[in-house]
Structure 1
Amino acid sequence: MSKIRITYYRRMFASAALFNWTVGLVLIFAYNPFFMILDMPTVDNALFLHLFALLVLMFGLGYYWISLDPLHEISLILLGCIAKGLVFITFVAYFYIDKVSWQLLTLVTGDLVYSFAFAECLIFQNRVLKVSKDLLKD
């Protein structure tokens, strides 16, 4: 795998970590102003919001770990790909039942973009692995 490709994956996963850490910290420390900006109702009891934020922060840690060695963290990449896709699908469903604003849905589109980027990383790594196995056969 080329150094350029590895550098790209490292930066992509580092940016995913920063994205998650930013979202997680906002949801813990500034959720009501954030919700007002996004035309969402404010939250009275933030327990479940804070639990979700902690999960977002922990996934950010996972993306940071992947950024350190993207070639050997395939399981974490797959987990992140699935999780980000499910987050987007969930927000789309809530948008259609009028529980989430279009502004928030627009922000969550970042998760969809990362999900596709993670999937591309997995597909590329699968190709590299297959080529490596074919070379070993000869």
Structure 2
Amino acid sequence: MKLILKLAAIYNILWGLWVGLFPNQFFELVGMPLPVHTMIWQGMGMVIGVYGLGYWWASYAPMRHWPIVAVGFLGKIFGPLGFFIQYYRGEIPFEFFYTLITNDFLWWIPFGYILWKTHKDYHWKLTDKYAD
């Protein structure tokens, strides 16, 4: 669990930096028109990068910090859901699907495992007997 969260942290931070520093590169790679409002895409990169910090901190005690994992997991569920709704409406090109593979789908099983293990062994505790 600790390794998975550290890998997710590194991935998210790097992805966030990539999108923030080179906001047009993804669109160029997949052959999409460049965004009109680049700062929205960069803002998404910032949010994903900040998730990376949360994953890094959660990696020190994954079951104790399960709410961070749960928020990340929900984002990995709702992000693709939002994509499919927007794609069905014709409001977003299919090429955005490529971001879902590494940002979301790849993490469903490991994050799901952490949350299942938290439920099974830790019973969703929000406090710890050693906490202040």
Give the TM-score normalised by the residue count of structure 1: 0.76
SS state at 2:37 partner: coil
The question of whether the paired residues in 1 share the 8 Å contact of 2:13 and 2:52 is answered with: yes
Percentage of matched positions with identical amino acids: 20
Q: Partner of 2:55 in structure 1?
A: 63
Q: Partner of 2:97 in structure 1?
A: 105
Aligned ranges for residues 1-138 of structure 1 at < 5 Å?
9-110=1-102, 111-129=104-122
How many residues were matched structurally? 122
- Counterpart-to-counterpart distance in 2, 1:84 and 1:64: 17
- Counterpart-to-counterpart distance in 1, 2:6 and 2:108: 14
Q: Give 1 or 2 for the bigger CA radius of gyration.
A: 1
- How far apart are 1:102 and its partner, in Å? 3.9
- Counterpart-to-counterpart distance in 2, 1:72 and 1:129: 8
- How far apart are 1:71 and its partner, in Å? 2.5
- Counterpart-to-counterpart distance in 2, 1:97 and 1:40: 18
- Counterpart-to-counterpart distance in 2, 1:100 and 1:71: 36
1:123–1:107 CA distance, 2 compared to 1 (3 A): same
Identify unmatched segments of 5+ residues in structure 2.
124-132
Any idea what the Cα deviations from partners look like across 1:71-92, whole Å, max 9, x if unmatched?
A: 2101111111111111121222
The question of whether the paired residues in 1 share the 8 Å contact of 2:32 and 2:95 is answered with: no
1:81–1:31 CA distance, 2 compared to 1 (3 A): same
The question of whether the paired residues in 1 share the 8 Å contact of 2:13 and 2:49 is answered with: yes
Identify unmatched segments of 5+ residues in structure 1.
1-8, 131-138
- Counterpart-to-counterpart distance in 1, 2:107 and 2:84: 16
